[in-house]
Amino acid sequence: MPYPSDRERDRPWVMRTYAGHSSAAASNALYRRNLAKGQTGLSVAFDLPTQTGYDPDHELAKGEVGKVGVPISHIGDMRQLFDGIPLAEANTSMTINATAMWLFALYVAVAEEQGADISKLSGTTQNDIIKEYLSRGTYVFPPGPSLRLITDMVAWAVHHVPKWNPINICSYHLQEAGATPVQEVAYALCTAIAVLDAVFDAGQVPEDRKGDVVARISFFVNAGVRFVEEMCKMRAFAALWDEITRDRYGIENPRHRRFRYGVQVNSLGLTESQPENNVQRIVLEMLAVTLSRNARARAIQLPAWNEALGLPRPWDQQWALRMQQVLAYETDLLEYQDIFDGSPVIEAKVEEIMAGAREEIDRVQAMGGAVAAVESGYMKSQLVGSLAERRRRIESGEEIIVGVNKFDTTEPSPLQAEGAKAIETVAPEVEQAAVEAVQAWRAGRDAAAVDTALRDLRDAAKTDTNLVEATLACARAGVTTGEWAGALREVFGEYRAPTGVSAAAAGGEAGEELAAVRERVKATGEELGERLRMLVGKPGLDGHSNGAEQIAVRARDVGFEVIYQGIRLTPAEIVAAAVQEGVHVVGLSVLSGSHMEVVPAVVDGLRQAGAGDIPVVAGGIIPAEDAALLEERGVTKVFTPKDYALTTIMNSIVDVVRAAHGLPT
């Protein structure tokens, strides 16, 4: 086969930046600027209330509105978000899972208002609920009803919006939760099997359209800095997907079996220490998903250099976009066939990953599939254990992170010279404006039409009727995000996924430092006359539980009795648990930017409950200026990503407990 010449260059992948914050109007302006800079697709980040089915005025939404994405409460917000952007011409990716059907319905309804032929709409809704139970935490309903929502949406999209990807199976967050390449491939493909089995068993798609269903299943993956291994992972993904769709589902057309994926490279691997090093990390990670032509990403979005510090500014996102454009347009990458075909080294590594993934897929299928492996806690505990092992390697120095555990001397960074201005901040007034806006929206709509639409939705949910049409009717009637999710909560119930903490341990961690801290915990307990107890809490809607889980595992390994109830707790619930359990310290983990609201609420709540003597420590993506303010508000100590050594953190927490009880530290 002849190699491509300049005249035969491959088309570049779709270039996106993951964006959205504050309000629909502010995000719309950001999208227009990004498109003008050469971005070829939109990637919408929704805030946590939108992702978890709450309106801005709900108690759990406090402090979370507009922080990690744009708040979309109803069709009016969706109109504003895409004002001046013709949806018939757009390629839009929406990172939304539990409420994917709702946001998709709003998008379709706005496209109809614009006069678009909805059969021509192109884009993707993430819609992978399995990984939410395992890693990201923005699930709402139990696994069964959640899979039903996905099934309905896949079937409806194949019939009515055939160019839309109704789901992308998301292994991205699995890697961030600790997955090895084998686990990432295996668990993502187990999820795809669960979805396809459910769709085909539902009987909503005729036999001759099975290939169309498979062709619209896309994937969203992570790429770490070990870019040779990551590239081999992508080749393994593509080969296994072809194998599964051919052998398990009998899909004959090779085009239907093609592995189609988008990517964002690793964000949680970015460092707060020497953040300028993140630039080369991002570029190297991008190579993992572009170098191999036969496993090249169809769409790429890159994080910004400063995402370990907070929200990136428009300039930071522009820099990330320019990285893609330089690779696609200045280099000769797109001029050649796959440069790794025939390499014995690459072939051996790909086969190793495939063999391990097949074995793990078989293990999960023997348990009853992905849903059963979620409900039993198996997959979650495997991820928590893998991440604990990686943390151990970093702390021991076996795995080097430049600027963190090696080569940590540094010059002052001019990129951070502006201090707090080096990141995007969301004004406190944004939340109040959103609260007032949604209340005004409710007051100004046709209440009878809303009641009818919600009643029809609840009634349909009690049957096996496809729920997309009822959801579209809700969107057109002016129903809000919280009302749509609330109606389905009434029928489906809610769910709290296994944490995986009880079955995981810091494998191999038996060093002198850990033994010394364990002895301090034991001795302090003896001095106080009881075993030390620590409550690890996740206040608000932040579902990134990896850090909290690792703290809980390490606290247990050094001898604390640990109370960890999982994600999505109100400050009042955390206070009640701390008082009831008689804990010696409360540790709060927040990565969503809501720390200035939810953390002081816990401190104040403990004081009001007569337990103000229980010290509170906090950890997360917390700027130095905010850390100082939290300490003024009564937080004893603040840990940030630069505090990577968990055993050292445990030692500091022992000091906090001892100081709180008047013991020498």
Active centre residues (catalytic): 18, 172-173, 538, 542, 544
Q: Name the β-bridge partners of 637.
A: 617
Closest CA to 501 of 418, 388, 615, 598: 388
Residue with the two structure tokens 């293990």:
363
Name 646's Cβ contacts closer than 8 Å, sequence gap at least 6.
391, 395, 506, 550, 551, 554
CA distances from 85 to 32, 95, 113, 246, 463 (A): 8, 19, 13, 39, 37
Strands, sheet with 261-264, edge to edge from the N-terminal-most edge strand? 14-16, 299-301, 261-264, 217-221, 167-170
Q: Is 389 exposed, middle or buried (0-12, 13-18, 19+ CB in 10 A)?
A: middle
Cβ neighbours, 10 Å, residue 203? 9
Residue with the two structure tokens 């491939």:
185
**Positive or negative: CA dihedral 102, 211, 9, 266:** positive
Residue with the two structure tokens 């757009």:
90
Q: How far apart are CA 619 and CA 341, in angstroms?
A: 45
Q: DSSP label at 161?
A: -
Q: How far apart are CA 239 and CA 250, in angstroms?
A: 15
The amino acid at 170: C
Cβ neighbours, 10 Å, residue 397? 10
CA distances from 290 to 32, 308, 346, 575 (A): 27, 24, 15, 48
Task: Quote the tokens at residue 177.
Answer: 């939760």
187 in Cβ contact with 181 (< 8 Å): no
533 in Cβ contact with 583 (< 8 Å): yes
Name 329's Cβ contacts closer than 8 Å, sequence gap at least 6.
12
